[in-house]
Amino acid sequence: MIEAEDQQSRLDLHSGTLDVVVLQEYDHVPAPLVDDLDRHPVTTDPMHLITPIGWRRHTGRLSELRDMPWIASTEHTPCLRSTLHACRLAGFEPDIRHRAVDFALTLDLVAAGLGAALVPELALRHVPPGVHTAPLAEPVTERRIFAVTRALGGTPQRPAVHALLAELTGRASLHH
């Protein structure tokens, strides 16, 4: 198990250093693959709107929070591009005051009252006190998680790779 950025993971997969890479893509921010790779869907992960409890209640519509400060991911990340796209679909440019790559840190910043954020449902397993969560109602946005392997042109996967893919897809189905 190695955690790495998407681009490095793809290079390691191509070179044979890795056999399986788990990637993500967001609505309107696809993660295209080259022809010699196979995609294995794992799960879909709906986005949630999170706000500090002290803020006015919302129904999951982004437009309700157009005038509030925002927390988003760092530059050049699919999560940031997804947040910007969703806010623009809702008719506004978010006032991003804080940036965090880690969803746990994003939740802590929201709990501290520093802004609203969009996070995937799987990031909500440990929500700190002081955070209100609601499924994103408008515009509906989701993240897709998938495993990637080298295309083998009909040759069966190695048993360990086959077992890992079965485990990934089986565990994901338990959450939905």
pLDDT in tens, 88-103: 999 999 999 999 999 9
Q: Which two tokens stand for residue 170?
A: 């089986």
Examine the pLDDT at 120 and tell me if it is beyond 60.
Answer: yes
> What is the pLDDT at residue 154?
67
For residues 62 and 162, give the distance between their C-alpha atoms in angstroms, rounded to a whole number.
41
For residues 58 and 65, give the distance between their C-alpha atoms in angstroms, rounded to a whole number.
8
Q: Which two tokens stand for residue 81?
A: 């591009």
pLDDT average, residue stretch 155-176: 76
**Sequence spans of domains, the chain:** 1-176
Q: Residue 156: pLDDT band by 50, 70, 90 thresholds?
A: low
For residues 36 and 152, give the distance between their C-alpha atoms in angstroms, rounded to a whole number.
8
Fold of 1-176: D-Maltodextrin-Binding Protein; domain 2 (3.40.190)
For residues 18 and 44, give the distance between their C-alpha atoms in angstroms, rounded to a whole number.
24
> What is the pLDDT at residue 86?
93
Dihedrals φ, ψ of 89, to 5°? -60, -30
Q: Where are the alpha helices (DSSP H) in the chain?
A: 6-15, 78-89, 103-111, 159-175
pLDDT in tens, 68-88: 999 999 988 888 999 999 999
Examine the pLDDT at 165 and tell me if it is beyond 80.
Answer: yes
pLDDT in tens, 13-64: 888 889 999 988 888 777 777 778 888 999 999 999 999 998 877 777 899 9
Q: Residue 162: pLDDT band by 50, 70, 90 thresholds?
A: confident
Q: Residue 171: pLDDT band by 50, 70, 90 thresholds?
A: low
Q: Which two tokens stand for residue 159?
A: 């048993």
Q: What percent of the chain has pLDDT over 70?
A: 94
- Predicted TM-score (pTM) of this structure: 0.83
